[in-house]
């Protein structure tokens, strides 16, 4: 795979070769990570990395764009088809860039955005104080009303929105395991004159695969997303506009020249490939299996007496309170499970009393193990192995790692997806 790199840069080769082995012999449970096909990887490493393509198809600032225009147009048309959008911008370098461009397109500095509180499942780019963008715009937050079920406090959301008059009402999350009431979001947005935006980064693949609801069906104006995670594509971002050409034009100008320079044309080609894969009927089966596997893992954890935030899952991820369940921190749990060959991430839980780098929870999910072909039986077994390590600590690590490696070898990372 890395023949030329091995000859030309042995140091970097060692790092990549080590990562190949780590992924092959372990289980990836971070819900924001997945495996891509070799076709996506080929596009990502293609000749298009050589080309500067500032502007948009048919409106570039440099010559020699006939094939870059072709690749980007394919990506745009497939993204529109996949999500039921009238307009799509496929140039954002990341999900964070997509969100920042959206804010720039729809607001002036000092305007208000209403998004989910980070500790209740939101994302850094939804206005956490540590981000620079929080100094530009005024972010206000909503939370869960009932942590045991995950129900959002929509009454309080409406009350605050009426008082603060946000320009953007932002749905979406990075550590929330239930479906939102999209109709209520849109109703509140319309009542206060806000643009209804959904950050679908975590569930884009589930929406594309019809395993969960599509926010556009409930009247959302815009959706932002990454293209990796459940969508199983390269690392990058997209912005989708349901029907407003005026909004779409503002978004295009905000992405370029407002925020970014030349687009990453090799990444855009890889996005086109992954969108094409997601349009295949087999992707729907994949997306549904992701949700089923997450449900199986949640049930196993609940049988093991573990407290789950929101009481379980309706999507691809699970947030578990290991501090109250096992008396260990999220950091300790992450380290133990990593040693046993199962990679996940520490995570804050709702109104966590512990620090973000040593929180009370762990976040894990099923996109990657499902890509390897695992079903409910295997997902349940993985959960049981996790519980073994969480309950018994270092004494179980070596034994569990052996079984994890055997399971990983039984379900190798696929080179393509039928």
The catalytic position among 17, 33, 54, 292 is 54
184 an active-site residue? no
249 an active-site residue? no
The catalytic position among 229, 232, 271, 307 is 229
235 an active-site residue? yes
Nearest to 273 by CA among 240, 232, 225: 232
41 an active-site residue? no
226 an active-site residue? yes
54 an active-site residue? yes
The catalytic position among 23, 52, 164, 384 is 52
The catalytic position among 68, 125, 226, 313 is 226
The catalytic position among 199, 277, 321, 388 is 199
HEC-encoded secondary structure of the chain: CCHHHHHHCHHHHHHHHHHHHHHHHCEECCCCCCCCCHHHHHHHCCHHHHCCCCEECCEECCCCCHHHHHHHHHHHHHHHHHHCCCEEECCCCCHHHHHHHHHHHHCCCCCEEEEECHHHCCCHHHCCCCCCHHHHCEEEEECEEECCCCEECHHHHHHHHHHHCCCEEEEECCCCCCCCCHHHHHHHHHHHCCEEEEECCCCHHHHHCCCCCCHHHHCCCEEEEECCHHHCCCCCEEEEECCCHHHHHHHHHHHHHHHCCCCCHHHHHHHHHHHHHHCCHHHHHHHHHHHHHHHHHHHHHHHCCCEEHHHCCCCCEEEEEHHHHHCCCHHHHHHHHHHCCEECEEECCCCCCCCCCCCCEEEEECHHHHHCCCCHHHHHHHHHHHHHHHHHHHHHHHHHHHHHHHHHHHCCCCCCCC
d(CA 75, CA 88): 9
d(CA 23, CA 357): 24
The catalytic position among 141, 167, 232, 235 is 235
| Structure tokens belonging to residue 92 | 């954002």
Catalytic residues: 52, 54, 199, 226, 229, 235
């Amino acid at each position: 795979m890395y023949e030329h790199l091995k000859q030309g840069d042995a140091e970097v080769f060692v790092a990549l070769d080590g990562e190949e082995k780590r992924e092959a012999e372990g289980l990836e449970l971070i819900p924001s990570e997945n495996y891509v096909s070799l076709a996506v990887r080929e596009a990502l490493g293609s000749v298009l990395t050589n080309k500067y393509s500032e502007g948009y198809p048919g409106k570039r600032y440099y010559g020699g764009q006939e094939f870059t225009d072709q690749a980007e147009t394919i990506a745009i048309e497939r993204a529109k088809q996949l999500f039921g959008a009238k307009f799509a911008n496929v140039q954002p370098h990341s999900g964070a860039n997509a969100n920042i461009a959206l804010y720039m397109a729809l607001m002036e500095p000092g305007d208000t955005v209403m998004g989910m509180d980070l500790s209740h499942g939101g994302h850094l780019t939804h206005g956490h104080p540590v981000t620079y963008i929080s100094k530009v715009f005024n972010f206000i937050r909503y939370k869960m009303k009932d942590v045991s079920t995950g129900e959002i406090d929509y009454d309080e959301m409406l009350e605050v929105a009426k008082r603060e008059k946000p320009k953007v009402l932002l749905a979406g999350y990075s550590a929330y395991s239930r479906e939102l009431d999209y109709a209520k979001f849109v109703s509140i947005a319309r009542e206060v004159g806000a643009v209804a935006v959904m950050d679908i980064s975590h569930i884009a693949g589930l929406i594309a695969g019809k395993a969960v609801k599509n926010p556009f069906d409930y009247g959302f104006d815009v959706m932002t997303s990454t293209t990796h995670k459940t969508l199983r594509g390269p690392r990058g971002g997209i912005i989708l506009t349901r029907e407003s050409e005026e909004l779409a034009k503002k978004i295009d100008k905000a992405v370029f020249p407002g925020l970014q320079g030349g687009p990453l044309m090799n990444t855009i080609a890889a996005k086109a490939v992954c969108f094409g894969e997601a349009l295949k009927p087999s992707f729907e089966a994949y997306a549904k299996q992701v949700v089923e596997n997450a449900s199986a893992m949640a049930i196993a954890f609940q049988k093991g007496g573990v407290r789950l935030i929101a009481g379980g899952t309706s999507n691809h991820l699970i947030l578990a309170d290991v501090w109250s369940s096992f008396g260990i921190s999220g950091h300790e749990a992450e380290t133990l499970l990593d040693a046993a060959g199962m990679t996940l991430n520490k995570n804050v839980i709702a109104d966590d009393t512990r620090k973000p780098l040593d929180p009370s929870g762990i976040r894990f999910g099923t996109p990657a193990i499902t890509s390897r072909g695992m079903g409910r039986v295997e997902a349940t077994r993985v959960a049981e192995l996790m519980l073994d390590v969480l309950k018994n600590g270092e004494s179980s690590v070596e034994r569990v790692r052996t079984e994890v490696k055997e399971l990983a070898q039984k379900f190798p990372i696929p080179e393509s997806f039928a």
